[in-house]
Chains A and B, each alone.
Chain A
């Protein structure tokens, strides 16, 4: 390969030089300690669970002089296997972020001006309990809703359920994975889970649609992807952008954005027409084959080329490869899949393709994952009864939230926004927001702001002063994951496990762990029966029936058992939790609700002249907007850039490295400027940025006004009529220098 000059690299990644000048002040991190560190080593190593993203890897926190100076992957945790992604490596940047919320805040009008004042916990908690009581008396508990992201929310959910608040929503549904869940449930009777039940490491042929593994940095997935590559897995990447994954691929198909369903339909068409699908598997396990063929009959490669821009020979080649690799081929369903409003149907097409290649519970395909069951219980054939604590539902709400989207199994966050504005069918007067910056995560920012204005009372629990906290009446500072216990992590996985999150150091400032905040609230809300046990006793009681104890888990970090029965046995009769008991290639349920039983192609809106479709994604060292203020992580990527095709950029007279404002199709101008990156690695009709930058709250001193927030530009949401997902990729931008 040609020589790469290191100085040139520094320029490419806008790395150290730019950030060091700006980031120097007020930065009390580790660097003050002496260089003897590498000889001294840690005083102790605390195994715990990461929360820099939501994957929940096991990490070892290295502590010396009561400071966490390093984080590494926990050796025995099945999600980390001793390894850790860049974000996890920089977790101490959150712990020692000088801009953290340090004490409770209460909004007050002082001299005619609204501002926050420092408050005591007693005062803040009392105010919340009092206001919740007033709102409940006037409107009922249904007018209080909770938004959350992250599993620290569990204690608040228990508390609020007991109080009669049952409206819980998370942007991880309608703004992220929801369409995938519903599509796989409609097809296979169960969702794909998180961590996904996909056997990527053993796949021999992997198709990624928009999934930019390696830039989207879920530790275990990238480990599996790497294993698959090492074993010779052939990769196909369908992406308007030449992603890192595309650079590893046999085929990169730079598809016209928004036409994925057309491509998937063509592949189904070819598999059926050439009869190269898994005929036996489909015959035994699926219904709706004839309807499926009727639905894709006209989706020929030639027509599909005209729609997608993917050459006919490549469409055909990939379909035949899928047929040839059969059950060891995997069409990855993606993770953040709310793109164009046709997302459930696109995910349905992906589910159908996976069914056709016959990879269900086969090596390299879709696998069955289980929750941790203690070995003793398995040996004795006893049903394992986990200890769930004493959390009765003491009150019901007057109304329960009924989504207008027929297949929404969880509450779409945007629907709460709309109903807060309309007060229909009943008023929503209060939001309790835990760990999610709704301003950046929902899209349709004007709508979110209008809803916030309609509220009587809003509480935000967070670690950092994210934008949403600026709209709260009460802000409660939670301590970071490195300073607290949370519930046990016990999710379904291929090697079932139970892992602990425990404090590596004591809480800094006047911040508190979520469980303690919930406990304080419970006392004031007249629910002192809840949280009787201290957190350590509560965790110990959960671990005892598993044959373990808190003491043991505190040392070990994780308990795990071997791989479960991931794959089906020859001759095993499969049952699916669908109405037919089979895989539903054509969905009667969708048809009955007025939707297409077989996914049909809906053309996306075209670019207005002079505008580029705005696409967004992730960088390996950032988690949405949550890490933009992290000085450790920000050193390598302090801002986002706008990827523009070199030739298209030249036509627009854009210069590489210059800063511009963006204006979208609705005339909305970005609040901040973004740096132009002219590149060959993207189609000429689309631009791309990493999501999570462009913070506008000056309390986030490092992240403030660095880059552009993609959500600012996403004013048009394409709602998925099936489950209410918010398609965000039908927005278009152009550039202005002033």
Chain B
């Protein structure tokens, strides 16, 4: 019996240049239709010339431990995967958009074929022992997939000495994207 995994992502904003390679890689890997995306780049500039700061980050589904999309899905289509991810069973999805309304992170969209869609951490690749397409392609290695249940120490090494931010913690969702600053 293999140990139960709990996947999360650690994203280093210090090295991310916002190039969008993650977005293109995801779209090709997951056949995301034109006009939609499962991951995206956020860029925020503060201050006035010439005293400026800018934060760039790659964003996507947070794979929350307490996921409102799962809570509010009326059909059970949105569900927790065995590996700590949040997944969508397309066969059960009616496209009712309850999950879109529930998600505090705006991580979902309705696929033209009628079902809700979002980042799956490339679950099909995880099953093959591969990392998500965005992680693999990232030229700056800003994206890191980690298993929070693992004892390999990778998560600890990544966050050691760094300021770690999580998004909308107040929503009580226990999100699993960790941004390093």
Contact = CB atoms under 8 A, between A and B. Distances in A.
B3 interface: no
Contact of B49 (A38, A88, A636, A680): A680
B14 to A, nearest CB: 6
B138 A33 contact: no
Q: Which of B24, B113, B138: most chain A Cβ within 10 A? A: B24
A222 B17 contact: yes
Interface stretch (B30-38, B62-70, B74-82, B147-155): B30-38
Interface in A11-27: 12-13, 15-17, 19-20, 23-24, 27
Given A230-B15, A248-B14, A86 B20 contact: yes
Nearest to A636: B20
Interface string B40-54: 111111111110111
A223 B15 CA distance: 9
A325 B100 CA distance: 52
Interface stretch (A1-9, A275-283, A361-369): A1-9
Contacts of B15: 226, 229-230, 248
A242 interface: yes
B24 A92 contact: no
A724 to B, nearest CB: 33
A30 interface: yes
Interface residues of A, number: 76
Given A23-B34, A30-B31, A226 B141 contact: yes
Contacts of B71: none
A709 B47 CA distance: 30
B139 interface: yes
A223 B19 CA distance: 12
B132 to A, nearest CB: 11
Q: Which of A69, A72, A679: most chain B Cβ within 10 A? A: A72
Nearest to A215: B17
Contacts of A633: 24
Interface in B6-20: 12, 14-15, 17-20
Contacts of B73: none
A72 B133 contact: yes
A632 interface: yes
Interface string A85-111: 110111010000000000000000000
A88 B19 CA distance: 12
A680 B45 contact: yes
A317 to B, nearest CB: 16
A31 B52 contact: no
B54 A83 contact: no
Contacts of B137: 72-73, 83-84, 89
A30 B21 CA distance: 18
A217 B138 CA distance: 12
B138 A38 contact: no
B17 A620 contact: yes
B34 A9 contact: no
Contacts of B27: 632, 635
Contacts of B93: none
B35 A19 contact: yes
Given A9-B40, A82-B136, A71 B28 contact: yes
Contacts of B20: 86, 620-621, 636
A524 interface: no
Contacts of A19: 35
Given A70-B28, A230-B15, A16 B33 contact: no
A17 B36 CA distance: 8
Nearest to A4: B42
A85 B48 contact: no
Contacts of A226: 15, 17, 139-142
Given A9-B41, A226-B139, A90 B17 contact: no
Contacts of A37: 30-31
Q: Which of B36, B52, B137: most chain A Cβ within 10 A? A: B137
6 shortest A-B CB distances, which residue pairs? A214-B17, A20-B35, A226-B140, A620-B19, A89-B24, A247-B54
